């Protein structure tokens, strides 16, 4: 077995271990006693899979230095304080004070002049650059509807990217307990409730190289099935088989491209996972086969809570196999969700993931094409749903998880619950259809989720502010290593205006994961629900997406090979241009296409920044010089869109669903 190049140091304040995994990836660990062994549920690639590298070592009176070939680490002999230096002598990722692991799981680092920070997983707010705030890494269902200051949210990814002209680096804080990044005081402080000071440092010097290194450690997605890149239509809920058939026929009759229909919780029998409501869906196999013949796949929701009901075979079998999380006293850990009292699987245990995967494999035999994992923070209501309960809590933090050999508490396993559920679901679909990459969608996740699932950002609202927020949210998710992401087009809660829905669909058609979804109690939000003008705008936007499918497939192939985001901030392509550092309202789809959506009601024009080079107006064909702001006209039917003149952009034929492409 390989052994990466390792250096151990002892100081009065603790022990430091440095492992040079590649010339651009270094793992840094501090402990006051012994380094913790690797856990079976670790999301990182084992260190032993990296080969030993030649690393130059030197020292002077006060420091020891290690040269990886790409950058240099300098360690103070007195206390282990670290700083990194690039080939041009520029300092980055330098300790403000030396860590003291006996006192706190905390690392405090300097923020260099001109340095900007991105990533941090799923966050609220309409800013791209994330300094000046404190960000908590803890999966939870936030208050809904939520404003710009809510934190934390559904997805916890303790990753950041730091950029300044000519230099970029990233950090992954390898700790699954509740943690936080505090960037409020011109410092970068990250700390956790428990666990170990364990970080991976990824050096660029360009953002693309940082993301490539991050994906080497956290893993890369497999290219999704082509149908999953089409448009998805969803609602809470399409209540019976006739309504679903009518929906499908409307798409085809109106010639609006669509590949996937999602079924929310009301397809179930009393919100029991892996069941059908026999009255409203009396012949599910027949329904799914009919939809498949019309070119539609069906994705069904599955919730984290398994209804406690002795007459329910999934719960009964789960109890027999002891798959559910238990409290510290050994009793079943449970709580109220949609089916009322429910139990929760311990996905830290491989045998439990295998048990869940078998349920999924059997479910897929009905013809279900993909699975949608929800409520998997996990969230627990304050009282039964039948009595008006809502999501305010989670499982007891001292609940027991893991195998006897790796016993831990929910405090350590909580952030991993959604990832474990998504992974087990992916593995079940892979067993059902070994020749096709599974499609899984998840609401909650942790670092590395890209290996197992697409992610959407949960319950947004039909507000212009949430349309605007979607851009920095999705761009920063991409910079956190998760390329296959989206938000509910049109907004989940409340009622979209025709103008808002049209503007949202124009940019939503370019989201990596493209789905319209709306809540129970809202007005219809299908593309034709807002009148003929908006219907035509939605049709044109989705036709553009389907023509771009060859390009999108290429971007997802690139993501599977390098970890590159699909939905990119301009700084990813132009990291030496500080004008791009705060641009939250423009986005690159891959390297070739720049979109500048309209994010305000009544707006018919907007300023657009075009970086260096030449750009082609998508609509007029006019060639424009970059390195300047322009005023772009944007009538309701048109979103400003530009192609980079030196980048090829393959287009495909116009189709109504991806099966029409053949192959």
Which pLDDT tens digit goes with each residue over 184-239? 988 999 999 999 999 999 999 999 999 999 999 999 999 999 999 999 999 999 99
Would you say residue 598 lies in a domain? no
Boundary of a domain, candidates 218, 253, 286: 218
Q: Is the pLDDT of residue 387 over 90?
A: no
Would you say residue 628 lies in a domain? no
Q: Is the pLDDT of residue 71 over 80?
A: yes
Q: Is the pLDDT of residue 172 over 90?
A: yes
Q: Which two tokens stand for residue 438?
A: 């599974």
Q: Is the pLDDT of residue 382 over 80?
A: yes
The dihedral through the CA atoms of 323, 419, 267, 492 has a sign that is positive
Would you say residue 309 lies in a domain? no
Q: Which two tokens stand for residue 242?
A: 């006739």
The two most distant CA atoms of the chain are separated, in Å, by: 80
Q: Can you give the C-alpha Rg of the chain in angstroms?
A: 25
Would you say residue 316 lies in a domain? no
pLDDT digit string, tens, across residues 116-161: 999 999 999 999 999 999 999 999 999 776 777 899 999 999 999 9
What whole-number distance in Å separates Cα of residue 79 and Cα of residue 57?
18
Look at residue 292 and give its three-state secondary structure: helix
Mean pLDDT, the chain, rounded, equals: 96
Would you say residue 463 lies in a domain? yes
CATH code of the domain in which 30 resides? 2.60.40.1760
pLDDT digit string, tens, across residues 515-538: 999 999 999 999 999 999 999 999
Asked if 206 and 564 count as a contact pair (C-beta separation under 8 A), the reply is no
CA-closest candidate to residue 617, choices 599, 638, 590, 635: 638
Q: Which domain holds residue 186?
A: 5-218
pLDDT at 81: 97
**Is there a single domain that holds both residue 146 and residue 285?**
no
Asked if 344 and 382 count as a contact pair (C-beta separation under 8 A), the reply is no
**Is there a single domain that holds both residue 106 and residue 208?**
yes
Of the pLDDT bands very low, low, confident and very high (cuts 50, 70, 90), residue 617 is very high
Asked if 153 and 480 count as a contact pair (C-beta separation under 8 A), the reply is no
What whole-number distance in Å separates Cα of residue 47 and Cα of residue 45?
6
What whole-number distance in Å separates Cα of residue 218 and Cα of residue 625?
39
What whole-number distance in Å separates Cα of residue 410 and Cα of residue 124?
25
**Is there a single domain that holds both residue 201 and residue 237?**
no
What whole-number distance in Å separates Cα of residue 167 and Cα of residue 85?
10
What whole-number distance in Å separates Cα of residue 326 and Cα of residue 333?
5
Asked if 295 and 657 count as a contact pair (C-beta separation under 8 A), the reply is yes
Name the β-bridge partners of 260.
232, 297
- The least confident of 142-151, 280-289, 517-526, 585-594 is 142-151
**Is there a single domain that holds both residue 117 and residue 160?**
yes
Tabulate helix, strand, coil % of the chain (nearest 5): 25, 25, 45
pLDDT digit string, tens, across residues 343-357: 999 999 999 999 999
Q: Is the pLDDT of residue 545 over 90?
A: yes
**Is there a single domain that holds both residue 162 and residue 280?**
no
Q: Which two tokens stand for residue 568?
A: 């990119």
> Which contiguous run of DSSP H or E holds residue 171?
strand 167-173
How many residues would you count in the chain? 663
**Is there a single domain that holds both residue 197 and residue 265?**
no
Look at residue 430 and give its three-state secondary structure: helix
Q: Is the pLDDT of residue 435 over 70?
A: yes
Asked if 506 and 587 count as a contact pair (C-beta separation under 8 A), the reply is no
**Is there a single domain that holds both residue 214 and residue 235?**
no
Would you say residue 575 lies in a domain? no
Q: Annotate 281-313 with b (16+ C-beta within 10 A) or e (fewer).
A: beebeebbebbeeebbbbbbbbbbbbbbbeebe
Would you say residue 638 lies in a domain? no
Q: Annotate 343-376 with b (16+ C-beta within 10 A) or e (fewer).
A: bbbbbbbeebbebbbbbbbebbeebbbbbbbbbb
pLDDT at 341: 95
Cβ neighbours of residue 205 closer than 8 Å, sequence gap 6 or more? 86, 166, 167, 168
**Is there a single domain that holds both residue 185 and residue 241?**
no
Terminal Cα-to-Cα distance of the chain (whole angstroms): 41
DSSP state of 594: E
Sheet hosting strand 91-92, strand order edge to edge: 56-59, 63-67, 72-76, 82-85, 91-92
Angle between the 241-254 and 284-293 helix axes, to the nearest 10 degrees?
Answer: 0
Q: Is the pLDDT of residue 43 over 70?
A: yes
For the annotated catalytic residues, the residue numbers are 374, 377, 459
Q: Which two tokens stand for residue 507?
A: 């940019």
DSSP state of 36: P
**Is there a single domain that holds both residue 72 and residue 195?**
yes
pLDDT digit string, tens, across residues 438-464: 999 999 999 999 999 999 999 999 999
* 592 CB neighbour count, 10 Å cutoff: 20
CATH code of the domain in which 244 resides? 3.20.20.80
The dihedral through the CA atoms of 474, 475, 480, 482 has a sign that is positive
Asked if 492 and 461 count as a contact pair (C-beta separation under 8 A), the reply is yes
Domain count, the chain: 2
Would you say residue 373 lies in a domain? yes
Angle between the 532-547 and 549-562 helix axes, to the nearest 10 degrees?
Answer: 50
**Is there a single domain that holds both residue 364 and residue 509?**
yes
pLDDT digit string, tens, across residues 321-349: 999 999 999 999 999 999 999 999 999 99
Boundary of a domain, candidates 509, 543, 563: 563
DSSP per-residue string spanning 250-287: HHHHHT----EEEE-GGGSBTTBTT---TTT-S-HHHH
**Is there a single domain that holds both residue 123 and residue 234?**
no
pLDDT at 1: 52
**Is there a single domain that holds both residue 450 and residue 523?**
yes
pLDDT at 145: 66
pLDDT at 384: 87
Full-prediction pTM beyond 0.95? Answer: yes
Boundary of a domain, candidates 540, 563, 586: 563
Cβ neighbours of residue 331 closer than 8 Å, sequence gap 6 or more? none
């Amino acid at each position: 077995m390989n052994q990466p190049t390792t250096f151990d140091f002892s100081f009065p304040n603790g022990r430091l271990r440095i492992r040079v995994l590649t010339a651009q990836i270094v793992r840094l660990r501090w402990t006051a006693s012994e380094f913790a062994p690797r856990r079976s549920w670790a999301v990182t690639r084992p260190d032993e899979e990296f080969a030993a590298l030649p690393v130059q070592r030197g020292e002077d009176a006060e420091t020891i230095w290690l040269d990886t070939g790409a950058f240099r680490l300098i360690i103070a002999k007195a206390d282990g304080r670290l700083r990194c230096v690039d080939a041009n002598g520029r300092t980055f990722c330098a300790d403000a004070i030396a860590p003291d692991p006996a006192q706190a799981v905390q690392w405090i680092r300097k923020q260099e002049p001109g340095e900007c920070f991105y990533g941090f997983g799923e966050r609220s707010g309409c800013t791209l650059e994330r300094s000046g705030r404190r960000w908590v890494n803890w999966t939870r269902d936030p208050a809904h509807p939520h404003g710009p200051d809510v934190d934390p949210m559904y997805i916890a990814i303790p990753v950041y990217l730091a950029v300044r002209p000519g230099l970029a680096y990233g950090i992954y804080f390898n700790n699954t307990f509740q943690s936080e990044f505090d960037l409020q005081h011109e410092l970068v402080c990250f700390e956790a409730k428990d666990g170990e000071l364990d970080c991976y440092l990824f050096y660029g010097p360009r953002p693309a190289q940082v993301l490539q290194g991050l994906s080497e450690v956290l893993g890369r997605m497999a290219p999704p099935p082509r149908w999953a890149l089409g448009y998805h239509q969803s609602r809470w809920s399409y209540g019976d088989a006739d309504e679903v058939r009518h929906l499908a026929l409307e798409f085809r009759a109106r010639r609006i491209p669509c590949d996937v229909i999602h079924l929310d919780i009301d397809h179930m029998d009393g919100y029991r996972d892996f069941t059908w409501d026999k009255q409203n869906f009396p012949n599910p196999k027949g329904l799914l086969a009919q939809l498949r013949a019309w070119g539609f796949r069906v994705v069904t929701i599955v919730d984290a809570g398994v209804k406690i009901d002795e007459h329910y075979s999934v719960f009964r079998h789960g109890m027999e196999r002891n798959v559910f999380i238990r409290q510290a006293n050994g009793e079943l850990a449970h709580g109220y969700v949609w089916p009322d009292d429910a139990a929760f699987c311990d996905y830290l245990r491989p045998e439990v993931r295998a048990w869940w995967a078998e349920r999924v494999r059997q479910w897929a035999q009905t013809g279900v094409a993909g699975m949608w994992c929800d409520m998997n923070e996990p969230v627990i209501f304050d009282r039964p749903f039948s009595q008006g309960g809502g999501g305010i809590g989670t499982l007891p933090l001292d609940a027991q998880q893991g195998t006897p050999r790796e016993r831990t508490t929910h405090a350590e396993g909580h952030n991993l619950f959604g990832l474990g559920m998504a992974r087990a679901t992916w593995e079940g679909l892979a067993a059902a259809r070994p020749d096709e990459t599974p499609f899984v969608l998840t609401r909650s996740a942790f670092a590395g989720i890209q290996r197992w699932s697409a992610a959407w950002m949960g319950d947004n609202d039909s507000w212009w502010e949430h349309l605007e927020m979607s851009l920095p949210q999705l761009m920063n998710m991409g910079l956190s290593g998760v390329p296959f992401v989206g938000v509910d087009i049109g907004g989940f809660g409340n009622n979209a205006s025709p103008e808002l829905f049209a503007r949202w669909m124009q940019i939503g058609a370019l989201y990596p994961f493209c789905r319209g979804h709306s809540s129970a109690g809202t007005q219809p939000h299908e593309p034709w629900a807002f009148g003929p003008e908006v219907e035509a705008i939605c049709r044109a936007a989705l036709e553009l997406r389907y023509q771009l499918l060859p390009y999108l497939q290429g971007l997802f192939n690139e993501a599977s090979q390098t970890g590159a985001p699909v939905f990119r901030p301009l700084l990813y392509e132009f990291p030496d241009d500080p004008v791009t550092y705060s641009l939250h309202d423009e986005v690159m789809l891959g390297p070739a296409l720049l979109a500048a959506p309209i994010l305000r009601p009544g707006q018919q024009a907007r300023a657009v920044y075009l970086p260096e080079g030449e750009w082609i107006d998508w609509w007029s064909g006019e060639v424009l010089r970059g390195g300047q702001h322009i005023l772009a006209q944007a009538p309701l039917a048109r979103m400003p869109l530009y192609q980079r003149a030196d980048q090829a952009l393959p287009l495909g034929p116009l189709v109504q669903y991806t099966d029409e492409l053949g192959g």
